[in-house]
A = this chain, B = another copy of it.
Amino acid sequence: MELLPDRQILFNRMRDTICGVYERFGFLPLDTPILEYSSVLLAKAGGETEKQIYRFTKGDTDMSLRFDLTVPLAKYVAKNYHTLAFPFRRYQIGKVYRGERPQKGRFREFYQCDIDVVGDGQLSVLTDAEMPAVIYTVFKELGFENFTVHIANRKIIKGYLQEAGLTDKTAEISVVLDKIKKIGAEKVAAELAVLGLSQAQIKPLLQLTALTGADFARFSCVDETFKTGVAELQTVIDGMKRFGVPEKNFTVDLSIVRGLDYYTGTVYETFLAGHENIGSVCSGGRYDNLAGYYTDKPLPGVGISIGLTRLFDKLGSETSAIARAAQVLVVSADGAIEACLPVAASFRAAGISASAYLEDAKLKNKFKYADRLGIPFMAIIGETERKNGTVTLKNLASGEQFEGITENQAAIKIKDAP
């Protein structure tokens, strides 16, 4: 994805908003290499993931491009274990690479915006309640109103399958259950039947995954893992409310299973009303052990990820941000272009973003330039202004014009503009 300037400004604004929220929640920045030794990146990968990775040799060195921000985090935490303060709260916004065939809405090179909290041996389940609070704040500040964080806990399904004697099929069943939103309960039932489940096994399973609200706590199951899952989910929901997440912006949804074996407790997906077709715009969950491939230390964690490139591609035009190149364009009314330089410098010293138009062109073309770049003000310097040390300031939207004012007065008018 390569954007034109006005779209790039909007993209950066979305990125900066996400970054700002992450920092407000006390997450620390991390930047890891995009290019890494394959032995580091691929320690854990296999199957489909490995096929998608960009891997190559340079001289004798086997290198790969990172395909997510979690593996680099695992390596980083393991390497710096003795230096970091735990719980380690980090955010990372950066590009990742997957060798998919590019298609509309899928990119080979795309931005992910991740946060994770990693504990040293233990991590309070209240941390799981903080993730939806971050998601809520991010999407709210991006200008979205109608979005819902769907929450489940994998221990609930896992415990139920244990009780039902289906433990050995947990992985396959999870993959099928994860499709409910896409293909519906009926087709899922058919696929479960193919896996060898009886109707007596399928029916309660679909009842369980269809539970919303507080009903999950009343589902009958005596398995200990199930009970732990229910208790954790209740703690998370209570914590989210305390963090100020409105009830309309989250829901318990036990159909959220997520295919990854990786997650062991709370899982999240986020859907935007009217855009359910693009899938989850922010997902994540709790994992028991982040860095088993790099260290013997048990490092439980919880995290979420926003696929920014895809989100922007689909919804960038729905945000309320305005793209403009600068607040003011400084131009000369005649050929004495150098007179623009100190005026532009003076605006910048006042904290105003100012572009100086230094080409010898007709005034009409200077207006056109400001218009194309979405610059709201133009400061015009002609003979009178040079003689008196003043500027003429024009509000290009309203057409209002102020003649013979000082640079300071102009700066105040620019700053006060909505």
Task: List chain A positions with a Cβ less than 8 A from chain B.
Answer: 2-5, 8-9, 11-12, 23-26, 28-35, 54-59, 63, 65, 76, 80, 83-85, 87, 89-90, 95, 97, 99, 108-109, 119, 122-124, 126-127, 129-130, 133, 137, 238-239, 242-244, 325-326, 329, 337-338, 341-342, 344-345, 348-349, 351-360, 369, 372-373, 375
Contacts and interface: CB of A to CB of B under 8 A. Distances in A.
A119 B359 CA distance: 9
Nearest to A76: B2
A67 to B, nearest CB: 12
Contacts of A59: 99
Contacts of A357: 87
A329 B87 CA distance: 13
B242 A87 contact: no
Tally of this chain's copies: 2
Nearest to A97: B35
Determine chain A's interface SS by DSSP, over half rule: mixed
A116 B127 CA distance: 45
Given A63-B54, A342-B243, A358-B126, A26 B137 contact: no
B358 A80 contact: no
B341 A129 contact: yes
29 contacts: A3-B31, A8-B31, A11-B31, A12-B29, A24-B352, A24-B354, A25-B348, A25-B353, A25-B354, A26-B354, A26-B356, A28-B373, A35-B108, A56-B57, A58-B99, A59-B99, A87-B358, A89-B355, A119-B359, A123-B359, A126-B337, A126-B338, A126-B358, A133-B341, A238-B338, A242-B338, A242-B342, A243-B341, A243-B344
Contacts of A97: 35
Chain B CB within 10 Å, residue with most, of A26, A87, A109, A338 = A26
Which 7 A/B pairs are nearest by Cβ-Cβ distance?
A: A26-B355, A56-B56, A26-B326, A242-B341, A85-B372, A5-B28, A124-B358
